[in-house]
Structure 1
Amino acid sequence: MVRSLYSAASGMMAQQTNVDVIANNLANVNTIGYKSQSAEFKSLLYQDLQAKTTSANGENKPVSAQVGLGSRISSITSHYTQGSANATDGTTDFLINGMGFFAIENIDGNVYYTRNGNFFLSVDTEGTVLCTAEGYPVLSSEGQPIVLDPQYQSTKITVDGDGNICYPDESNNAQPIGIKIGLYQFPNPSGLTKVGNSYLAESDASGVAINEEDGVVSKSKLKQGYLESSNVNVATEMVNLITAQRAYELCSKAITTSDTMMEQANNLKR
């Protein structure tokens, strides 16, 4: 009896975490560059009830009797599929078509990565800096903050598909100015550590960041004037939510049933 109580309780806790993941997906349905997550389950330990026959020889049974002790969450996996493109016409809005990530340097000097290409131009003493909404500078392909000379007018700056920042020459033809927006990839992007605000940090599970300029991986393409929307499918998430709710109710029903059976056993003495 007690075994069923704990097994059903573990299922309820696992499904609660599953609902938390689904709720987070739905909450970020409009977050730029957000990647949907899914909870993965695994079974807990199994207890042997009978492994040998009850005959005098006590031989091993061809099929032993084992009962499971519930389930738990084994991982919460991010799915890095391409989100749809939304046109913004912003000169500092960029969409990554591929597996690349932008590199960001925070105030502590740590490098974070993101798919959110909603950037801005900030003026400081050194020039015009391409940065995030929090003011963190975007890094170039050389790993340095992108700082433009004051002579460049922000409305005339363009970026080609390879990430080269261009400015019109005397003939009004866009020419690269020698600065390229950095794009980086990871052997296992699902292993990146989430630090909030759409930022991701390198970890042992993700592997070391690979600069696309090194030519080891296939290069991504940049699209100026577009942003990558979230890849959350609302219909799929709602179906998953209903499934998780029903599973939670079933585990709750199992606890109620076990409690009723224990009550009946206690009433046998009356």
Structure 2
Amino acid sequence: MVRSLWSAATGMNAQQTNVDTIANNLANVNTTGFKAQQAEFKSLLYQDLNSVTTTANGDPKPTTSQVGLGVRTAALTQLFSQGSLLDNPSTSAFAISGNGFFSYHDADGNPVYTRNGDFIWAIGNEEGTELVLTTSDGNPILSTEGEEIRLEGGYISNRISVGSDGTIYYPDEDGVPQEVGFTIGLWQFQNPGGLERVGSTTWKVTAASGPAMNEAETDGIEKSIIRQGYLEGSNVNVATEMVNLIVAQRAYEMNSTAITTTDQMMQTANQLKR
């Protein structure tokens, strides 16, 4: 009976993690570039109550009897399915169609990756003659060469256009778009599920994810497409998450009921001698 208490307790802890994960998904349903997570579980070791043996006469006994010792959270799987492309009036709004990631350097100078293309053209010098493509937090976005995208020469931000491959254009005197020498960088990973999440829409490279592969320099991978004037919405499906939440709540209640039942059985056993 004590074993049943511990098994039910592990189930309650696991379902609490499940509910927390679902709640985080629902809280970020409107977060640009957010990718949902899913809790995965695994059984703890099983205990043998009776092993396969034979009687004194050599007759086989019943098969092995085992009882589970509960469950634990094995992983929080990241789901990198494509989110919906949402129209946005900003000329510095970009959505990725495909498996690519934008990149910028964090405060420590290490590259991080994101699907959130809600960028701005920030003023890069005191004279106001330089534009820098940055995140909404002011982190400069990297080009295919791994450099910050800085446009000098008095460019007007709302006249800048970006091609589907990330090439940046600016119209000449005749209004014909001309390349300015920068292309927005995109990177892919062999196993994006192995990336380390460091923010709601930001990830770092790990040994599990493999190194970042520059789409402009890597052959044999499907290139992503950049859509100017769009943002990628969250890939959270509210209906699915609500169903998962109900299932998790019921599983939590069942484990709680198992603890209550075990307590009642122990109470009955203690009262037998009366």
Question: TM (normalized to structure 1)?
Answer: 0.96
1:157 and 2:157 aligned: no
Q: Does the 8 Å contact 1:127/1:149 carry over to 2?
A: yes
Per-residue deviation, 1:106: 2.1
Letter in 1 for 2:264: T
Letter in 2 for 1:66: Q
Q: Which residue of 171, 174, 177 maps to 2:174?
A: 171
Which residue does 1:112 correspond to in 2? Answer: 112
1:221 and 2:236 aligned: no
Relative to 1, partners in 2 of residues 1:51 and 1:136: Cα closer, same or farther, differing over 3 Å?
Answer: same
1:143 and 2:154 aligned: no
Which residue does 1:88 correspond to in 2? Answer: 88
Q: Does the 8 Å contact 1:31/1:229 carry over to 2?
A: yes
Q: Deviations over 1:209-245 (max 9, x none)?
A: 0000113311100000000000101010000000000
Which residue does 2:74 correspond to in 1? Answer: 74
Runs of 4+ in 1 over 3 A off after TM superposition: 57-62
Relative to 1, partners in 2 of residues 1:6 and 1:197: Cα closer, same or farther, differing over 3 Å?
Answer: closer
What is the RMSD of the two structures over their aligned residues, measured on CA atoms?
A: 1.4
Q: Once the two structures are aligned, what percentage of the paired residues are identical? A: 57
Per-residue deviation, 1:173: 1.3
Which residue does 2:196 correspond to in 1? Answer: 193
Which stretch has the larger CA shift, 169-178 or 24-33? 169-178
Q: Does the 8 Å contact 1:51/1:60 carry over to 2?
A: no
**Gaps spanning 5+ residues in structure 1: where?**
none
Per-residue deviation, 1:77: 0.6
Which residue does 1:7 correspond to in 2? Answer: 7
> Counterparts of 1:127-138 in structure 2 under 5 Å?
127-138=130-141
> Counterparts of 1:32-111 in structure 2 under 5 Å?
32-53=32-53, 55-56=55-56, 63-111=63-111
Q: Which residue of 223, 229, 234 maps to 1:230?
A: 234
Q: Hey, what's the Cα distance between the residues in 2 that align with 1:58 and 1:102?
A: 69
Q: Which residue of 185, 203, 209 maps to 2:212?
A: 209
Q: Hey, what's the Cα distance between the residues in 2 that align with 1:147 and 1:257?
A: 67
Q: Which residue of 239, 259, 262 maps to 2:263?
A: 259
Per-residue deviation, 1:53: 3.4
Relative to 1, partners in 2 of residues 1:61 and 1:207: Cα closer, same or farther, differing over 3 Å?
Answer: farther
Q: Does the 8 Å contact 1:51/1:64 carry over to 2?
A: yes
Q: Does the 8 Å contact 2:54/2:61 carry over to 1?
A: no
Three-state SS of the structure 2 residue aligned to 1:165 is strand
Q: Does the 8 Å contact 2:55/2:61 carry over to 1?
A: no
Q: Does the 8 Å contact 2:54/2:60 carry over to 1?
A: no
Letter in 2 for 1:150: G
Q: Does the 8 Å contact 2:35/2:201 carry over to 1?
A: no
Q: Does the 8 Å contact 1:167/1:177 carry over to 2?
A: yes
Q: Deviations over 1:93-149 (max 9, x none)?
A: 000000000001123211110000000111122821100111110000000111111
Q: Does the 8 Å contact 1:42/1:72 carry over to 2?
A: yes
Q: Hey, what's the Cα distance between the residues in 1 that align with 2:234 and 2:25?
A: 9
Which stretch has the larger CA shift, 12-21 or 141-150? 141-150
Per-residue deviation, 1:197: 4.7
Relative to 1, partners in 2 of residues 1:89 and 1:58: Cα closer, same or farther, differing over 3 Å?
Answer: farther
Q: Does the 8 Å contact 1:95/1:224 carry over to 2?
A: yes
Three-state SS of the structure 1 residue aligned to 2:216 is helix
